[in-house]
Copies of this chain bind each other. A is one copy, B any other.
Amino acid sequence: MPILVVEDNADQWLIIRSALAQCFPEVEPIWVNNPMQALKYLESCLSDETKLPRLILLDLYLPRREDSWILLEAIKSNSVYRQVPIVVLSGSQDHDDVVKSYTFSIASYIVKPITYHQWLTCFYTFRRYWWESVTLPQRSLKSSV
């Protein structure tokens, strides 16, 4: 059950990887650090269904603000990729960033926690919601039904 993590800050990635390992031990997170790599990974899923992520955790400002919107636009305009819920995990609490992200039909916007303990609390809630309450799409390459 892969989760794709788009994060351009290596230190942040280490924290996310560690917290994910603790809260989602069965998950192998895939790290990409820029939009081009993210799209390259998603393209590779078209020929190998098992690689399609269950969720995408997306940082904003990669590194420019526009880079995130371009990536969101590309994902949401593809009938296969757009089946994958996107959770924005951003340090920004800027109202415009929140609204603009939801305009791209992201699933949720989460402001990054500060302490490691807060990251764990966040990901435990995350697990309880996404893994235990929600039904996610099965691995499928169907673009429409």
- Residue in chain B with minimal CB distance to A88: B135
A82's contact among B105, B110, B138, by CB below 8 Å, is which? B105
A145 to B95, CA, bound (A): 10
A124 to chain B, nearest CB (A): 10
- Neighbouring B residues of A109 by C-beta, 8 Å: 134-137
- Residue in chain B with minimal CB distance to A135: B109
A138's contact among B83, B98, B110, by CB below 8 Å, is which? B98
- Neighbouring B residues of A84 by C-beta, 8 Å: 102
Please tell me if the beta carbons of A98 and B137 are within 8 angstroms of each other in the complex.
Answer: yes
Please tell me if the beta carbons of A132 and B143 are within 8 angstroms of each other in the complex.
Answer: no
Whether A76 contacts B105 in the complex (CB less than 8 A), given A122-B133, A125-B133, comes out as yes
Please tell me if the beta carbons of B125 and A132 are within 8 angstroms of each other in the complex.
Answer: yes
Please tell me if the beta carbons of B125 and A110 are within 8 angstroms of each other in the complex.
Answer: no
- Neighbouring B residues of A134 by C-beta, 8 Å: 108-110
A74 to chain B, nearest CB (A): 14
Query: Is A47 on the interface with B (CB-CB < 8 A)?
Result: no
A56 to chain B, nearest CB (A): 12
Residues of A within 8 A of B (CB): 76, 79, 82-85, 93, 95-100, 102-103, 105-111, 122, 125-126, 128-130, 132-138, 140, 142-145
